[in-house]
Amino acid sequence: MSAGTSYDDRQYDERLEAFIGRVLNERTPGQDPVNVPMIRHWVEAMEVANPVHLDADAARATGRDDVVAPASMIQAWTMRGYAATVRPQAAAGGFQELIALLDEGGYTSVVATDSEFDFVREVVPGDEISVEEVVDSISPEKATGLGVGRFVTTMKTYRDGAGEVVATQRWRTLRFKPAAKVEPRAERPKPAINLDNAFWFEAARERRLVVQRCTSCESLRHPPGPECPECQSFEWDTVECSGRGTLYSYVVAHHPRHPAFDYPLLIAVVELEEGTRLITNLTGVTPEDVTIGMPLAVQWIDDGPDLTLPVFGPAAPEPTEES
Amino acid sequence: MSGLSGATAIVGIGATEFSKESGRSELQLACEAVTAAIADAGLKPSDVDGLVTFTAESSSEIHVARNVGIGDFSFFSRVGYGGGAACGTIAHAAAAIHAGLADVVVCWRSFNERSGERYGLGQASRPMDTNADRAAYSWMTPYGLSTPAQWVGMFAQRYMHEYGATSEDFGRISVIDRARAATNPKAHFFGRPITLEEHQASRWIAEPLHLLDCCQETDGGQALVLVSAERAKDLPNTPAYVLGAAQGAADDQHMMTSYYRPSISGIPEMGLVGDQLWRQSGLRPTDMGAAILYDHFTPFVLTQLEELGYCGRGEAADYILDGHLELDGSLPLNTHGGQLGEAYLHGMNGIAEAVRLVRGTSVNQPRTVENVVVTAGTGVPTSGVIVGVA
Ligand SMILES: [Zn+2]
């Protein structure tokens, strides 16, 4: 139900609109009349200091006839109770129909957003409270922090035994499509960067594949190190590679699995045109089609904000000359 | 023959049971193995004045010494590179005794490798620091290359490509090891031989390696006692003389990932060890009555046969097919069942088996064995020993 433009979407909107003004829950009496023990539990639990709810003298001192129930307790008198909450009975009615229609639209999650009361008179012990719920409005689809959804506003009307209104409640919930939980992909094991290898990973972040070169005898070496084994020079720079090479060997990893990778995982040793080899992954090829000696070309993958790595995919056997 | 050859002997061996969950501390496993080895040698703990173990060992020499009752000790050293250290401990002990630094040296290794920290689960989540060893993982783990099986698989794939070897050629090593383990009551796989078909049907771990190309994981401890050849004569057991003991790290050596050498279808560090062993001992490969070759993963058993000179490059598959490694062949292999069959004790249980072969007490004793070659971890800086009757 995205933009509400298609025929199906318009139909759905009309079906929702048909609920406005409909009774969701018929007038339902509370399980018990208003009574002092429940008031006492409420007052204690909510830490209400006002004495008019339990102390008759205090109540009379305020001009009342006797103790009165806390106003915000109005919902409590009509709650369906513990047993019905943990073992709800299958029921049919406007409420169930609306929930089914919202489910159909993908609005399967709910969160209460606000509740506004109007109190007509104070409720006193002996009052038999009932409640009725009518749909007030259903909003168009809105984008919210929880996901796209519709605000469903209902009016609950609380009445006494004589049918007189004692309070009304405008009750708003957001019925929303839970945002698909995309688990972020685990990051690859991080390289341990030190003074001897940092240059290579820094170049990789710029998508440059480099090989360490001795500035004295010009021999290349990888993995890099501080000293040239050929001439013992500690002076070095790097050469930038063409990014082309051939497959020297590979392994198809199956077990154990690391959450950063898809398995079977192709891990390879690639021999670069420049002559050095490096460990990498193969991409764009399945294990059945891998052959030692196949021509490969570098591609780059970003893994998290700080790591870019070269991987290799199949290349045309004869690289075309650039004109 | 070098001065080291025959100068010392292994006179005691001792081990815990091999299990999947020892229920005891690694220090206790070490102490049990060391105590048992000293007793087997007919010596007292206070006779010991040297201790050698792996850098990977979690229990320091001082903890073992004060628990076992060794008292003062004057020589201690450790050998690095995981299972590559196994025979290196013997080399250090023999050299120390030969040089007069110690008289009685115990070498040991113990761990709860199955119930504790399992190497097979890979390096990906190990703590990070920036020393050179940890930085070396930077070229592997970001690509998901983090387990020993994967590291070996990369070598094996190239070996197959160059020589036409097949997964079945690797599998025959598993079949041999499991056949030997099947008749070794101390082996985890006692009574459970496998067929080549079962090897082929086992699931992939890191192609080209099947599950049954990979050794098990074990809790346990193993210790060995070395003394001088003269002292060995006064002790109860038939001495297993150390006729050669050598370590080796070859050009452009990496830990399990020496993929940057001109060729990666061999493991030259083992060739380097073998050359020293033959030179020190004056013996030839064919003088060996059995071989205990490190078998954490089957493909490297083939390369070891080539590096040690039992066959030419790429010929190991045929050498195995010819039956040399069977119990009645020219070079019975891993008579205890190897690490694939008996236990993964970082190679130390293999040295103990070589001692038993020299004593004539292996549960799978071949017809005649005078000399046994033993190797340590492959793909890493490694080591080897030759033990013999004289
Ligand atoms: Zn140079």
Least confident of A49-63, A76-90, A178-192, B258-272: A76-90
Q: Are strands B50-54 and B105-112 parallel, antiparallel or unpaired?
A: parallel
Q: Is the pLDDT of residue A321 over 70?
A: no
What is the pLDDT, as a whole number, of residue A3?
44
Q: CA end-to-end span of chain A, whole Å?
A: 52
Classify B241 as helix, strand or coil.
strand
Question: Where does residue B63 fall: left (phi above 0), alpha (psi -120 to 50 degrees), or beta otherwise?
Answer: alpha
CATH homologous superfamily for the domain A15-79+94-176: Hotdog Thioesterase (3.10.129.10)
User: Hey, of A220, A257, A279, A307, which one would you mutate to test binding to chain B, going by the most B CBs within 10 A of its CB?
Assistant: A279
Classify B201 as helix, strand or coil.
helix
Q: Are strands A130-138 and A147-159 parallel, antiparallel or unpaired?
A: antiparallel
Q: Does the distance separating the beta carbons of A279 and B145 come in below 8 Å?
A: yes
pLDDT: which is higher, B224 or A12: B224
Q: Does B261 touch chain A if contact means CB atoms closer than 8 Å?
A: no
Residues from A in contact with B at Cβ < 8 Å: 188-194, 196-197, 201, 222-223, 229, 248-256, 258, 260-261, 264-265, 267, 269, 276-281, 287, 292, 303, 307, 309, 311
Q: Is the pLDDT of residue B190 over 90?
A: yes
Q: Is the pLDDT of residue A1 over 80?
A: no
Residue B148 lies in a domain: no
What is the pLDDT, as a whole number, of residue A230?
92
With beta carbons under 8 A apart, name residues in chain A contacting B264: 248-249, 269
What is the pLDDT, as a whole number, of residue A40?
93
pLDDT digits (tens, 9 = 90+) for A42-77: 999 988 889 999 999 999 999 899 999 999 899 899
Q: Is the pLDDT of residue A320 over 60?
A: no
Structural contact between residues B222 and B349, judged by C-beta atoms closer than 8 angstroms: yes
What is the pLDDT, as a whole number, of residue B340?
98
pLDDT band at B122 (very low <50, low <70, confident <90, very high): confident
Range A198-314: architecture per CATH: Beta Barrel (2.40)
What is the pLDDT, as a whole number, of residue A5?
60
Give catalytic residue positions of B: 294, 344
Mean pLDDT of all residues in chain B? 96
Residue B353 lies in a domain: yes
What is the pLDDT, as a whole number, of residue A280?
98
What is the pLDDT, as a whole number, of residue B256?
96
What is the pLDDT, as a whole number, of residue A180?
72
Name the residue range of residue B310's domain: 8-115+216-388
Q: Does the distance separating the beta carbons of B208 and A258 come in below 8 Å?
A: no
Residue B83 lies in a domain: yes
Q: Is the pLDDT of residue A99 over 80?
A: yes
Q: Is the pLDDT of residue B128 over 60?
A: no
Residue B63 lies in a domain: yes
Q: Are strands B290-292 and B371-375 parallel, antiparallel or unpaired?
A: parallel
Mean pLDDT of all residues in chain A? 90
Q: Does the distance separating the beta carbons of B157 and A251 come in below 8 Å?
A: yes
Q: Is the pLDDT of residue B212 over 80?
A: yes
pLDDT digits (tens, 9 = 90+) for B59-105: 999 999 999 999 999 999 999 999 999 999 999 999 999 999 999 99
What is the pLDDT, as a whole number, of residue B1?
60
Measured in angstroms, the CA of B124 and the nearest CA of chain A are apart by: 6
What is the pLDDT, as a whole number, of residue A2?
44
- Measured in Å, residue A84 CA sits from the centre of ligand 1 at 83
Mean pLDDT, residues B229-254 taken together = 98
What is the pLDDT, as a whole number, of residue A49?
86
Mean pLDDT, residues B142-153 taken together = 97
CA distance A159 to A162: 8
What is the pLDDT, as a whole number, of residue B118?
86
Measured in angstroms, the CA of B135 and the nearest CA of chain A are apart by: 5
Residue B1 lies in a domain: no
Residue B123 lies in a domain: no
Counting DSSP H helices and E strands in chain A, the numbers are: 6, 14
**Closest by alpha carbon to A37, among A82, A69, A80?**
A69
What is the pLDDT, as a whole number, of residue A94?
87
Going from N- to C-terminal start, the domains of chain A cover 15-79+94-176, 198-314
Q: Give the rounded percent of residues in chain A with a pLDDT score beyond 90.
A: 71
Residue B2 lies in a domain: no
Q: Please tell me chain A's helix, strand, coil percentages from 3-state DSSP, rounded to the nearest 5.
A: 20, 35, 45
Across-strand partners of B53? B78
What is the pLDDT, as a whole number, of residue A4?
43
pLDDT digits (tens, 9 = 90+) for A112-171: 999 999 999 999 999 999 999 999 999 999 888 888 899 999 999 999 999 999 999 999
Residue B16 lies in a domain: yes
What is the pLDDT, as a whole number, of residue A323?
42
Q: Does B164 touch chain A if contact means CB atoms closer than 8 Å?
A: no
Residues near B383 by beta carbon (within 8 Å), at least 6 away in sequence: B79, B84, B85, B86, B87, B88, B90, B91, B245, B246, B247, B248, B273, B375, B376
CB burial of residue B164 (10 Å; 0-12, 13-18, 19+) = exposed
Q: Is the pLDDT of residue A173 over 90?
A: yes
What is the pLDDT, as a whole number, of residue B311?
98
What would the two tokens of residue B252 be? 């452009």
**Interface ipTM above 0.95:** no
Q: Is the pLDDT of residue B114 over 50?
A: yes
What is the pLDDT, as a whole number, of residue B121?
81
Query: Which single residue is written with the structure tokens 């959450």?
Result: A259
What is the pLDDT, as a whole number, of residue A179?
76
The enclosing domain of B265 has a CATH number of 3.40.47.10
Q: Is the pLDDT of residue B52 over 70?
A: yes
Structural contact between residues A292 and A247, judged by C-beta atoms closer than 8 angstroms: yes
Q: Does the distance separating the beta carbons of B143 and A309 come in below 8 Å?
A: yes
